[in-house]
Chain A
Amino acid sequence: MIPVSKTIDADVVIVGGGIGGAMAAIAASESGAKRVVVLEKCHVKRSGSGATGNDHFSCYIPEVHGDDVEPVLTALMNSLVGQAKDVELMRLHLLESFDIVKKWEEWGINMRPLGRWNFQGHALPGKPRAFLKFDGRKQKAVLAEQMKKHGVTVLNHHPVVELAKENGRVCGALAIDASTPDPSFVLVSAPCVILSTGLTHRLYVNGTTPNYLFNTAHCPNNAGGQALGWRIGASMVNMEIPYTHAGTKYLQRAGKATWIGVYRYPDGKPLGPFVTKPDPEYGDVTSDIWNSAFLDVMHNGRGPAYLDCSENTPETLAYMRKAMFDEGLSALIAYMDAKGIDPARHAVEFTRFEPILHGRGLDVDKNGQTTVPGLYAAGDMVGNAGCGLGLAAWMGWRAGHAAAADAANSTGSADLASNPAIKAKMELLSSFMSRNIGAEWQEANIALTQIMSDYANVGPYNVRSETLLKAGLGYLAQLREETNASMKASCSHTLMRAAEVLDLFDCAECIMRSALERKETRGNHKRSDYTFTNPLLADKMLDVTRKDDGSVVTSWRNMKH
């Protein structure tokens, strides 16, 4: 059995020290929570999708946008991050966003690199621009420093693998101490837990390099955190609505909107109707609107499609390069420099990436509270409140304050080690460590991606159907059984990956269950057996919940305006 090395009592536990988690920790501390503990899988200075930067923060600033928030809200709802979200939450986010921005600036993140509030790119021509351009290169280091200043306890290299629930309320978390090669367990008892584990990758066969699981647009270490909430009965929402990002081929990297150029066919014709020459103010949003653009041109033989930046002025190209650094794309720039790839001369091919869970997951209220008392969520793993950095920061902030107040009246588990879910997980993970011959975690992860890409794939070129989804669920159950019986891990690192795969299984099941229930075609959720889009569902969201007896229930709810 893997030993327990630490037992900790906390008021608020935060799972994941990314943007949302750090903001939650600082807010909880500000609100008077004494023992705030961040359990981070890697290191808070450089973890998650925002590790090395970001350059756009969804935000409403009255002095720039005017007194009416609604046009900016409409622009945000029409953007990639606004799909199928509760408008009420998005509006509140915008109304409170400037406060967060000012806070960040005060802490030392460069929110006005050009000396003014600059809204640029990611927008339809002539429409309000909702994304504040900033320089996020130091964002993680600054937030880490603020956590320290606020007395937050940060445990780096402590991935959380299970949550505990007692009397209907969350009561603690099980983490692995992965800071040394030999893993040990850490038990953290707390009345409030805030999940902020980011997006989920590695569910589908990689869209660019099928043999490389970790070549993803956002951080590939973020894998399956939604499952922690799912297993203790938190409702999930929008899991069946696919999200696919796009960007450079074959080197995946988010930040396509940082590029300033025009998408073109090989004959030079622009792909989209929006711009014919590079427009630094709005960018070319073609692929935000026409999500399958880069796939379509491959399937109809007219492609490939390139991003052409050659008509930019030298000043704009210099600005784009700077913005790429702000966005954290320094590895991409270094690669291009080394290979002599020059946007002034070379057009770069773009492609659509594989589906990820980005803004799909836990159903929360305006305080980030999930349907399980004491459990909160913030950031990209929330299903109904938008995604992206600005939303993570805002929701983390609200969740931190709310959790601190909530924690004052409750207690965590008195005996976490005896909690059945925690005990079972400790036994299962220990069995992986005791096996000498067995399946590597990669096998199980890849097997899962195969199943998802065959039986729960996304449109427009793949369909879902009752027979396919049921076959997928059946195969997933077989895979889960075989994995539990045969997986091995040799050190804390591979044990962490093995635990991630178990989480991914749950996310996959959740996706397939929801997809079965959504008996219509909507966006890239294409059902061959329900080929129409049902207008009665246009204003509804699908919640899916795992009950304590293991059964799964679904229910439709109205969107909140």
Chain B
Amino acid sequence: MLEFNAPLSTDVLVVGGGIGGLCAAIASARTGARTMVAEKADTRRSGSGATGNDHFACYYPKAHGSDIRVILKELRQSLVGAYHDEKLSLRFLEESIHMVDRWQEWGINMKPFGDDYEFMGHAYPGRPRIWLKYDGHNQKQVLTRQAKKEGVEIVNHLPVIDLIEMDGEIAGALALDVSKDTPTFTVIRARKVVLSTGTANRLYPAAGSPGWPFNTAFCPACTGAAQAQAWRIGAKMVNMEMPNRHAGPKFFARAGKSTWIGVYRYPNGKLLGPFVDRATRYVGDITCDVWNSAYTDVLLNGSGPAYIDCTQTKPEDLAFMREGMISEGLTTLVDYMDRTGLDVSRHAVEFMQYEPHIIGRGLEIDIDGQTSVPGLYAAGDMVGNFRADIAGAAVYGWIAGGHAGASAASCELKNAETSPWVAERAQLYSSFVERESGAAWKEANLAVQQIMDSYAAAGPHRLRSATLLTAGLKYMADLRKNAINEISVPDAHSLMRAIETLDLMDNGEIVMHAALERKETRGMHQRSDYTFTNPLLSDKFLEVWQENGTVRTEWRQCWN
């Protein structure tokens, strides 16, 4: 058995030091609660927002007018708006501008174009724009600095690997110290826990370069840890069966497609979409937000490939685009293009649809960010009933952290390390280290990807069905059994990856259980055995959770 360090104690434990986690931690600390962030890498550069971001969804009455519902409608019709409990979206919008003010005050440049906030891009022609354009290149460093200033304790290289529940409420977490070659365990006792582990990647084969599972649009170290850990202690998930696919440059996977200012064209020059024939910094080509499978469609019907063409974009907007890419954290891409002589004023770059990943699907939260497990909160990309990407993570992190901090005092701190669950999990993980030779974690991860791609694929060109999903669940169970019996890891780093892989297996199973229950076709969830979209399910969400080892599902009304 691997060694245990002395347990740590805190009032509020934040799992994951990304945008949501750091904002939650600061809000919690401001209530006077002792607050700790346990981070897998280093909060200065971790997660999908590591090197930047440039757009923040926000309702700014001064620019948008007094009717919040106008902006709510734009949010719901945007790429991020599909599966929301609207009362959460409204609270988010109400509080969003205050978060922007705070970021500006802390040192993130939310006004790179002058004295006031500007809204640009990601919009339909002639419609209100909800995305505040900012310069987030230093966002993680600023938030880290601010968290420390507010008294938050940040522990880097300490990924949480399991949650501990005692007497029906959260009691802390089991973490893995990966700061040294030899891994050790640390139990963190906490009165409240806020999960903020980001998107789940590496669940499907990388669409661009299937030989490289880390060539992903979002951070590949984010692997659905929150969903898996919360699932294991019975928390409810929603919308896990609804696939999500991002798009962007081919074969170089990188989020931030909307930072490009250009139009999408066929090889014969014809435009892909109906929206704009010339892109500007204010209104780009939104075609692929609306027509998600565009780039796949043109390959499968032979009319492609499809390119983004920026040659008609004005030189000042091209310079603006370059700045935007740096703000968005795409410096690798910019450097690469410079080095290889790829010039967007002359060259058209092919775009593609990336593999499915999990964003805005996962934990069901209430208006305060609390999950169905008392004392357990969630904020950010792994929440299932609200999504606004970086802004959503920041604002709902703030809400959840504030609520957790304010209510922490009323709970007792339990000796979480005494839970039999800790011993059980620690034993399992230790066995991977104790086994001298066996399967590498990567084999297991790739096998998960193969199964998900074969049996729980995303439409429109691939289908799901009861027989396929049932086969997939059977194979995933076989894989889990084999992996548990065979994985062998040489060091702390690889153990972390192996545990991520087990988390991915849970995510895959949740997706398949939920997909089996959604007996209709909706969006990219295409069922060959239920080819229609059932209007009776339009205002319902599917909850899925585990109870005494049994998977349960239930439909509920959306909260409007």
Show the binding face of A for B, using Cβ within 8 Å: 205-206, 208-213, 249-250, 265-267, 298-304, 339, 349, 442, 446-447, 449-450, 454-455, 461-465, 467-468, 470-471, 527-529
- B438, CB-defined interface residue at 8 Å: no
Would you call A299 and B462 a contact (CB within 8 A)? yes
- A447 and B210 contact, Cβ closer than 8 Å, known pairs A304-B471, A468-B304: no
Q: Tell which of A265, A301, A450 touches B209, judged by Cβ atoms closer than 8 Å.
A: A450
Please, which residues of chain B bring their CB within 8 A of the CB of A467?
A: 266-268, 302-305
Would you call B529 and A211 a contact (CB within 8 A)? no
5 residue pairs A–B, Cβ–Cβ below 8 Å? A210-B210, A442-B211, A446-B209, A467-B303, A468-B304
Chain B contacts with A in 271-310, Cβ cutoff 8 A: 299-305
Complex CA–CA separation, A461 to B209 (angstroms):
20
Nearest 5 A/B pairs, CB to CB: A528-B302, A301-B528, A301-B465, A465-B302, A210-B210
Complex CA–CA separation, A349 to B211 (angstroms):
24
Residue in chain A with minimal CB distance to B472: A304
Please, which residues of chain A bring their CB within 8 A of the CB of B213?
A: 211
- Additional A-B contact list (20), CB under 8 Å, known A209-B450, A249-B454, A339-B482: A205-B210, A208-B450, A209-B446, A266-B471, A300-B463, A301-B468, A301-B527, A301-B528, A301-B529, A302-B465, A304-B471, A446-B210, A446-B211, A447-B251, A462-B299, A462-B300, A463-B301, A465-B302, A467-B266, A467-B304
State the Cβ distance, A134 to closest chain B Cβ, in Å: 35
Q: Tell which of B211, B467, B482 touches A266, judged by Cβ atoms closer than 8 Å.
A: B467
Please, which residues of chain B bring their CB within 8 A of the CB of A298?
A: 454, 462, 468
- Bitwise interface map of B from 55 to 97 toward A, beta carbon under 8 Å scored 1, else 0: 0000000000000000000000000000000000000000000
- Interface size, B (range): 35 or more
Please, which residues of chain A bring their CB within 8 A of the CB of B268?
A: 467
- B146, CB-defined interface residue at 8 Å: no
- Bitwise interface map of B from 422 to 459 toward A, beta carbon under 8 Å scored 1, else 0: 00000000000000000000000011011001110000
State the Cβ distance, B201 to closest chain A Cβ, in Å: 15
Of the listed residues A206, A303, A464, the one surrounded by the most CB atoms of chain B closer than 10 A to its CB is: A303
Please, which residues of chain B bring their CB within 8 A of the CB of A208?
A: 450
Please, which residues of chain B bring their CB within 8 A of the CB of A250?
A: 447, 450
- B461, CB-defined interface residue at 8 Å: yes
Would you call B468 and A211 a contact (CB within 8 A)? no
Please, which residues of chain A bring their CB within 8 A of the CB of B450?
A: 208-210, 250
- B470, CB-defined interface residue at 8 Å: yes
Of the listed residues A455, A465, A470, the one surrounded by the most CB atoms of chain B closer than 10 A to its CB is: A465
The number of A-B residue pairs with CB atoms under 8 Å apart is 101
Please, which residues of chain A bring their CB within 8 A of the CB of B465?
A: 301-302
Would you call B305 and A304 a contact (CB within 8 A)? no
Chain B contacts with A in 526-544, Cβ cutoff 8 A: 527-529
State the Cβ distance, A209 to closest chain B Cβ, in Å: 6
Please, which residues of chain B bring their CB within 8 A of the CB of A529?
A: 302
Please, which residues of chain A bring their CB within 8 A of the CB of B106?
A: none
Would you call A465 and B210 a contact (CB within 8 A)? no
Residue in chain B with minimal CB distance to A351: B454
Would you call A468 and B210 a contact (CB within 8 A)? no
- B329, CB-defined interface residue at 8 Å: no
Please, which residues of chain B bring their CB within 8 A of the CB of A468?
A: 299, 302, 304-305
State the Cβ distance, B350 to closest chain A Cβ, in Å: 8
Q: Tell which of A211, A300, A461 touches B211, judged by Cβ atoms closer than 8 Å.
A: A211
Please, which residues of chain A bring their CB within 8 A of the CB of B52?
A: none
Please, which residues of chain A bring their CB within 8 A of the CB of B462?
A: 298-299
Would you call B528 and A302 a contact (CB within 8 A)? yes
State the Cβ distance, B32 to closest chain A Cβ, in Å: 50
- B248, CB-defined interface residue at 8 Å: no
State the Cβ distance, A184 to closest chain B Cβ, in Å: 31
Residue in chain A with minimal CB distance to B469: A301
Would you call A349 and B304 a contact (CB within 8 A)? no
Complex CA–CA separation, A449 to B462 (angstroms):
21
- A210 and B305 contact, Cβ closer than 8 Å, known pairs A301-B463, A301-B467: no
- Bitwise interface map of B from 296 to 334 toward A, beta carbon under 8 Å scored 1, else 0: 000111111100000000000000000000000000000
- B189, CB-defined interface residue at 8 Å: no
Q: Tell which of A300, A302, A304, A454 touches B299, judged by Cβ atoms closer than 8 Å.
A: A454
Complex CA–CA separation, A213 to B464 (angstroms):
27
- B559, CB-defined interface residue at 8 Å: no
Residue in chain A with minimal CB distance to B462: A299
Residue in chain A with minimal CB distance to B471: A304
Would you call B467 and A210 a contact (CB within 8 A)? no
Would you call B467 and A465 a contact (CB within 8 A)? no
- B208, CB-defined interface residue at 8 Å: yes
Please, which residues of chain A bring their CB within 8 A of the CB of B455?
A: 304
Complex CA–CA separation, A454 to B471 (angstroms):
28
- A213 and B211 contact, Cβ closer than 8 Å, known pairs A463-B302, A467-B304, A468-B304: yes
Complex CA–CA separation, A446 to B453 (angstroms):
19
State the Cβ distance, A65 to closest chain B Cβ, in Å: 42
Complex CA–CA separation, A553 to B158 (angstroms):
62
- A301 and B205 contact, Cβ closer than 8 Å, known pairs A211-B211, A467-B302, A467-B303: no
- B212, CB-defined interface residue at 8 Å: yes
Complex CA–CA separation, A190 to B300 (angstroms):
48
Please, which residues of chain A bring their CB within 8 A of the CB of B449?
A: 210-211
Please, which residues of chain A bring their CB within 8 A of the CB of B300?
A: 461-463
Please, which residues of chain B bring their CB within 8 A of the CB of A463?
A: 300-302
State the Cβ distance, B208 to closest chain A Cβ, in Å: 7
Would you call B302 and A464 a contact (CB within 8 A)? yes
Would you call B302 and A461 a contact (CB within 8 A)? no
Complex CA–CA separation, A121 to B350 (angstroms):
47
Chain B contacts with A in 3-62, Cβ cutoff 8 A: none
Complex CA–CA separation, A267 to B529 (angstroms):
14
- A301 and B464 contact, Cβ closer than 8 Å, known pairs A209-B450, A464-B302, A528-B303: yes
- Bitwise interface map of B from 334 to 364 toward A, beta carbon under 8 Å scored 1, else 0: 0000000000000000100000000000000
Complex CA–CA separation, A250 to B450 (angstroms):
9
Q: Tell which of B303, B467, B527 touches A304, judged by Cβ atoms closer than 8 Å.
A: B467
Chain B contacts with A in 189-230, Cβ cutoff 8 A: 205, 208-213
Please, which residues of chain B bring their CB within 8 A of the CB of A302?
A: 465, 467, 528
Please, which residues of chain A bring their CB within 8 A of the CB of B210?
A: 205-206, 210-211, 446, 450
Complex CA–CA separation, A250 to B305 (angstroms):
30
Q: Tell which of B209, B251, B303, B468 touches A303, judged by Cβ atoms closer than 8 Å.
A: B468
Residue in chain A with minimal CB distance to B307: A471
Would you call A211 and B205 a contact (CB within 8 A)? yes
Complex CA–CA separation, A461 to B213 (angstroms):
24
Please, which residues of chain B bring their CB within 8 A of the CB of A211?
A: 205, 210-211, 213, 446, 449
Would you call A527 and B302 a contact (CB within 8 A)? yes
Residue in chain A with minimal CB distance to B251: A450
Complex CA–CA separation, A442 to B211 (angstroms):
9
Complex CA–CA separation, A468 to B299 (angstroms):
7
- Bitwise interface map of B from 370 to 393 toward A, beta carbon under 8 Å scored 1, else 0: 000000000000000000000000
- Bitwise interface map of B from 508 to 534 toward A, beta carbon under 8 Å scored 1, else 0: 000000000000000000011100000
Chain B contacts with A in 377-411, Cβ cutoff 8 A: none
State the Cβ distance, A44 to closest chain B Cβ, in Å: 31
Complex CA–CA separation, A465 to B268 (angstroms):
13
Chain B contacts with A in 475-500, Cβ cutoff 8 A: 482
Would you call A266 and B304 a contact (CB within 8 A)? no
Complex CA–CA separation, A337 to B302 (angstroms):
45
Complex CA–CA separation, A267 to B471 (angstroms):
12
Of the listed residues A210, A304, A349, A449, the one surrounded by the most CB atoms of chain B closer than 10 A to its CB is: A210
Please, which residues of chain A bring their CB within 8 A of the CB of B467?
A: 265-267, 301-304
Residue in chain A with minimal CB distance to B447: A250
Please, which residues of chain A bring their CB within 8 A of the CB of B463?
A: 299-301
Complex CA–CA separation, A303 to B469 (angstroms):
10
Please, which residues of chain A bring their CB within 8 A of the CB of B302?
A: 463-465, 467-468, 527-529
Would you call B205 and A465 a contact (CB within 8 A)? no
State the Cβ distance, B7 to closest chain A Cβ, in Å: 39
Would you call B527 and A446 a contact (CB within 8 A)? no
Please, which residues of chain B bring their CB within 8 A of the CB of A442?
A: 211
State the Cβ distance, A284 to closest chain B Cβ, in Å: 20
